Amino acid sequence: MLGFPASAKRGNLLAALGMGLAILATIFLYKDNNGNPLGNHLWIFGGLLIGSVIGTMMAKKVKMTGMPQMVSFFNGMGGACAALISLVEFNHLSHTGLEGADPLYLIIIFLGLIIGSISFSGSMIAFGKLDEKIKDKVLPGQQLINIGLLSVILIIALLNSFDIVEGTSIVYVLLVTSLLYGILFVLPIGGADMPVVISLLNSFTGVAAAMGGFLYDNKVMLFGGILVGSAGTILTVVMCKAMNRSLTNVLIGNFGGGKSGVDSAEVQGTVKSINASDAAILMKYSKKVIVIPGYGLAVAQAQHVVHELETVLEKEGVEVKYAIHPVAGRMPGHMNVLLAESNVEYDKLLEMDEINPEFATTDVALVIGANDVVNPAAKNDSNSPIYGMPILDAEYAQQVIVMKRSMKAGYAGIENELFYRPNTSMLFGDAKKMLSELISELKKLD
Amino acid sequence: MQALIDFLANNELMIYLVILMIFLGIELIEKVPSVLHTPLMSGANAIHGVVIIGAIIIMGQADNILATVLGFVAVILGTLNVVGGFVVTDRMLDMFKKKKK
């Protein structure tokens, strides 16, 4: 049902309903090995109530542009929940005696703890970074530290599972190291990679939930978790492909922070700037305009204005389409959600493969707050860190107008030679403000 | 090693089902157009909130203070994940609904 926008909402409600049923069934029907039902109903309902109220409030309050952070935050909560479950189960087990415990059972508990903790701390860092509260940081030897830390975590868990190392306090060591790993893992990753990371952390939490399913022999948990785990992993891979980067590359974390390899060839030439009234004239007399939105559009909250521009242009008989790069914004489909919010018609949002052949017949490509996704260096400069990433072929349009706040480089931290091309003009300023100016200029022309 | 073999033998059906779920997950993503990837990620995010069930079980079985406190926190966090996840997804999908006139 999630296959179509129209039925997706129903699918979501259905899933929510199923979840509610599963929760109620667990509370009232669950029996442990000795046939005792669950107690502490007051606590359970109290927790459910508090969580529901806070969750609904947060989810209702958040702006559409803040969605990626929100998803990341809720994901972290799920991870923390999984880690806590493992923690309690381990404590429970250590009371009844660890010696006779099944090593597989212990491995499952540890995995739940490790994955859940990484997912929690990682998601919190991702949340902070997307919210622009935390900056990218790369420690010297970051890759070695990360790999080393991960190996330490796994070795401790394995040794402990097979009774080679004794002691119950080791579980807290695991908790702390896993949390630390989550932080170090996400900290150096640049904004361009955030969608991949969130998707990956999402699938982590899925796996952590599945561990819980093994633990309690609970099929709903197991299948739900595995489903999310596999779907999340595939989604992650699909996104990596869209950026032409391998998953290991993202995992070890060497992109987006400071060093971007060899500096790509210095871009020569001058930048031409254009003012709103000239840009308006240019567009008014075009047959076809393709809008390329990027994160700048989201930051400026310009989605409604861009729709207004579209309507004004269409009244003039100009064909308007949107070209959506798979990783435009901070999440896949981020631009689609934003533009859908402002009532842009679904059929006008075209994916990269569909729209690329059309640029040759386009009069004006209007780039709004996007940068790396239209950088021709991805195709012709093998030294460029984004070399090989599929891009939108805005360069083939008759005229390219780039709306941008400054000449600052994009998230990959590299120059964009497109801006220096003779057929490119820059329209400097905040996307929302410039779009409104364009609209008023267009109206004046009538 | 014996333990592993026993485990596999005892859980044969479960393992098949897990593999089935993995394929279902892959299939699911491939069917979804990329415009819906954000709501999809958010929906998947809500679904792994099933971890709440585990939290409810530990809460229900809690017999000491530590387990009660941790269990209670786990229930709250899990609920945040489920409720927040579904509400956010619903809001996002609402955006897609409106334009269908």
Cα B96 to the center of its chain, rounded Å: 24
Instruction: Name the residue type at position A40.
Output: N
Q: What is the mean pLDDT of each run of 10 residues along chain A (446 residues)?
A: 62 83 83 73 87 88 79 91 90 71 80 92 89 71 78 80 67 88 82 77 90 84 86 81 68 47 51 84 89 85 89 89 81 77 84 88 89 83 74 88 77 75 86 88 82
For residues B47-53, average pLDDT = 88
Q: Are residues B4 and B27 in the same domain?
A: yes
CA distance A186 to A355: 33
Same domain for B95 and B47, yes or no, is yes
Based on the fold, state whether residues B84 and B48 are members of the same structural domain. yes
Q: Which residues, including other chains, have CB under 8 Å from residue B11's CB and lie 6 or more apart?
A: none
Whether chain A has a CB inside 8 Å of the CB on B7: the answer is yes
B40–chain A nearest CA distance, Å:
7
Task: For residues B16 and B54, state if they share a domain.
Answer: no
Which chain B residues are within 8 Å of A39, Cβ to Cβ?
Answer: 60-61
pLDDT number for residue A410: 64
The answer to whether the beta carbons of residues A430 and A304 sit under 8 Å apart is: no
CA within 13 Å, CB half, A183: 9
Is B38 in the A-facing interface, judged by CB distances under 8 Å? yes
A261 touching B (Cβ < 8 Å): no
Distance from the A16 Cα atom to the nearest Cα atom in chain B, whole angstroms:
6
Which residues are within 8 A (CB) of A370 and not within 5 positions of it... i.e. 6 or more apart? Answer: A292, A293, A294, A295, A296, A297, A325, A328, A410
Res A244: pLDDT = 65
B87 shares a domain with B52: yes
Encoded tokens for A184 = 């170090």
Nearest CA in chain A to B57: A38
Model confidence pLDDT, tens digit, residues A341-366: 788 888 888 888 889 999 889 999 99
Cβ–Cβ gap B21/A40 under 8 Å: no
Number of separate domains in chain B: 2
Containing domain of residue B8, as a range?
1-31
The answer to whether residues B17 and B63 belong to one domain is no
Residues B40 and B27 placed together within one structural domain of the fold: no
A vs B: CB pairs below 8 A: 357
B20 shares its domain with B68: no
Q: Are B12 and B42 in a shared domain?
A: no
pTM (predicted TM-score)? 0.77
pLDDT tens, residue by residue, B61-80: 887 888 888 889 999 999 99
Length, in residues, of chain A: 446
User: What is the Cα–Cα distance from B50 to A209, expressed in whole angstroms?
Assistant: 7
Query: Could you give the strand order of the β-sheet that contains A288-293, starting from the edge strand earlier in sequence?
Result: A349-351, A319-324, A288-293, A364-368, A399-404, A424-428
Give pLDDT, residue A4: 58
pLDDT tens-digit readout, A125-134: 988 887 777 7
Q: Which residues pair with A351 in a beta bridge?
A: A324
**pLDDT at residue A117 in the model:** 94
Judged on CB neighbours under 10 Å (0-12, 13-18, 19+), A134 is middle
pLDDT for A259: 38
B26 and B41 co-located in one domain: no
Question: CA A49, A122, A192, A228 torsion: positive or negative?
Answer: negative
DSSP A124: H
- Are both B18 and B42 inside the same structural domain? no
Helices A334-341 and B85-98: angle between axes, nearest 10 degrees: 60
**Cβ distance B51 to A27 under 8 Å?**
no
Same domain, B26 and B42: no
Residue A60 is nearest to which of B54, B87, B100, comparing CB atoms? B87
